[in-house]
Amino acid sequence: MNSILKKMSFTYPKNEKLKSKITIGLLFTEGKSVAKYPLRLVYNAGTFGEGEKIKIGVSVSKKYFKKAVDRNYFKRVLRETYRLNKHLLLDNLDQPYSFMFFYQCKEKLSFEEINTKTIQLFEKFVLQIKQSNVKFEEEETK
């Protein structure tokens, strides 16, 4: 077990941060969405630099949290849950994806609850990607 954990990288490096306005724009115009209340993941397949598989940004609505302190806290929590669980995405992606990760409710959930929901959301995303790949392959064979 320890050897597996040593091999996995629990980091959130600068090259995984979604900063491109063009990519963010494409996410909202062409992206698909998967949700597990209170989290939502908007995703779109894309191409990045050499060896980059994921670009991710986080967002917390001003509508639900008026104070920047609260929004920043939940953004930190989202980044941390992503960092701890990104292996669920990396192990199942066959092409690069960009993501926007949202916290969308007024309730102030604990870190443990958000982490559990993040795992469920990532698993739901992987399932959705696999189903869409199967449909795509079936259409190609027709």
Distance separating alpha carbons of residues 135 and 86, to the nearest angstrom: 25
pLDDT digits (tens, 9 = 90+) for 124-138: 999 999 888 777 666
Categorize the per-residue pLDDT at 46 as very low, low, confident or very high, splitting at 50, 70 and 90.
confident
Q: Which residues contact 43 (CB under 8 A, 6 or more apart)?
A: 27, 31, 32, 33, 34, 97, 98, 99, 100, 125
Number of CB atoms found within 10 A of residue 109's CB? 16
Query: The pTM is what?
Result: 0.86
User: Is the distance from CB of 53 to CB of 86 less than 8 angstroms?
Assistant: no
